[in-house]
Structure 1
Amino acid sequence: MGGEVPISLPSGGDDPRATLAAAEQVRRAALAPANPSPQDRSIAAEASQISTQAQADLAELQAQERAQQAEQSSQSRNDEQLKEEQREQEQRDKAAREERLEELRALARRSTQLGEQLVTLDNVQRNQNVGSVLDQLA
C-alpha cells in the first residue's frame, strides 16, 4: 500500500522541548514504513538534525535555568564568595555545554552520513542486483 502523507517539520520555535518532541515524532513517522523511500529517509535525517539542535537549545535553556536558580538561592552569601562561585560554575557550565554541543554536532554529522548512505544504497539497489552491491561493500 503506497501513498503520500504530508509531514510538517518543526520550525524550532520558542520551546525546545516541544520542538524536540515534534522532531522525534516526524522522524518516527518518516521511518515508520517497512521500506522507507529516499524522501522518507531524507525527512528523517532532517528531523534528526532539528532534534539535535533542539537538544542543544534545551541544554542551554537548562543551564540558564540552573544559573537563575543558583543566583536566587545564593543572594544571602557574601558577594565576593558568590562571584567566585558563579565564575567557577559558569566555566563548568560552559565546558559542559561545549562538550555536549560537540557531541550533538558529531551525532548530527553521523546522522547526515547515514542518511546519505541510505539514499546511496537505495539508488544503487535500483541499478544493480543485491549480490554485486555486497561484493562492492566487501
Structure 2
Amino acid sequence: MFISHTPSNLPVSTANVAAESIANDVSLKPRIPEAPPTNPSSSSKHSTDFSEQNKPNLLESLIQDKTIKEQAENSSEESSNDQKDNSDSKEIINNATGEQELDRVEQQEVASLQARDREVRAHESAHSSVGGSLAGSPNLNFTSGPDGKRYATSGDVSIDISKVANDPSATIAKLQQVQRAALAPSQPSSQDRKVAAIASAGISDAQVELSLERLENLDKSKQAGETQPDSKPENEPLNPVKAIRESRALEKKFEDSGALENQSPLNQLSLIA
C-alpha cells in the first residue's frame, strides 16, 4: 500500500454554518426595541405611592363594612322588637275585643244596673235630706254587674213617726215633715206612700187632740167665770170633750198594744226605694 506524503491543498471552510444561519434569521426579523432600564429606587417609590393611595380606600371600606354590619344588627333588633310589639299589640287587641264582646253581650244589663243605681241613690237621698234629723242615713243594697262593679239596686231610710207626748202641735209639725220626706222622691214607692198615709192619719189625730185641748181650756175658762154651787146636781150634764177624750184614749190603748192588727206598736218605719 502506497501512502503519499505530499500534502494536498484542499480548500477548508472555516465558517460556522449554523451560526451564520441564525445570524441571517435574526437580521431578517424585525427589531424589537429594548425596554428602558428600570430604576430600582423609582419602582420602589411607585409601589410605596400606590400603597399610600390605597390606604384611604381601605379605611373607607372597613368603615363601610362596619356600618353595614351595624345596620344589619340594628335592622335585626328592630325586626325583633317589631315582632314583639306586634305580638303585644295583637294580645291587647284580643283582650280589648274580648271586653267589647262582653260589653255587647251584657251591655243592656250594665246599662240597666247603672240606671237603677242612680235611681236608688237619688231616691234615698231625697228621703234623707227632707227627713233631716228624723231620718237615718241611707242603707243601700248592692249587686255586682258583669263588669265587676257594684251597683245599688235597693235601699231604705228609717224615719221616726212617733208622736210628741202631750204636745199635739209638735206632733203635727213632726208628722208633716215625715209626710214630706216620704213623698220627696219623684217616684215614691208603695212603702213610701204607706208611711205618708200613716203620717197623715197621725196628723189628723193630733189635730183632733189639739181641738179637744182648746175646748177643754175654753170650758175651764167658762166654768171659772161661773159661781160654783155648794153641791153637785144629781144629773150632771155630759161633757162632750171629756167623752171624746176618753174614747180616744181607749182607742189609743188598743193601737199601742197591737191587738187590733196583731203586731207590735210602730214608732219607726222605713222608706224603701
Alpha-carbon distance change, 2 to 27 in structure 1, aligned in 2, over 3 angstroms: closer
**Alignment partner of 1:8 is 2:160:** yes
Which deviations, in whole Å up to 9, do the C-alpha atoms of 1:24-83 show, x marking residues without a partner?
1111111121111111111100101111111111111111111111112234xx85xxx9
Runs of 4+ in 1 over 3 A off after TM superposition: none
SS of residue matched to 1:48: helix
Judging by fraction of residues, say which structure has more helix: 1
CA contact (8 A) 1:12 1:50 kept: no
> Unmatched 5+ residue regions in structure 1?
102-138
CA contact (8 A) 1:11 1:19 kept: yes
Q: Which has the larger radius of gyration?
A: 2
CA contact (8 A) 1:20 1:51 kept: yes
State which of 24, 35, 47 in structure 1 corresponds to 2:187: 35
> Unmatched 5+ residue regions in structure 2?
1-121, 125-137, 139-156, 249-273
CA contact (8 A) 1:30 1:41 kept: yes
Normalised by the length of structure 1, the TM-score is: 0.52
Greater relative contact order, per chain length (Cα 8 Å cut-off, separation 6+): 1
Quote the residue 2:169 is aligned against: 17
SS of residue matched to 2:160: coil
State which of 67, 79, 93 in structure 1 corresponds to 2:219: 67
CA shift for structure 1 position 18: 0.9
RMSD of aligned Cα (Å): 3.0
Quote the residue 2:21 is aligned against: none
SS of residue matched to 1:11: coil
Judging by fraction of residues, say which structure has more strand: 2
Give the count of matched residue pairs: 90
Distance across 1 between alignment mates of 2:203 and 2:187: 23
Normalised by the length of structure 2, the TM-score is: 0.28
Distance across 2 between alignment mates of 1:42 and 1:51: 14
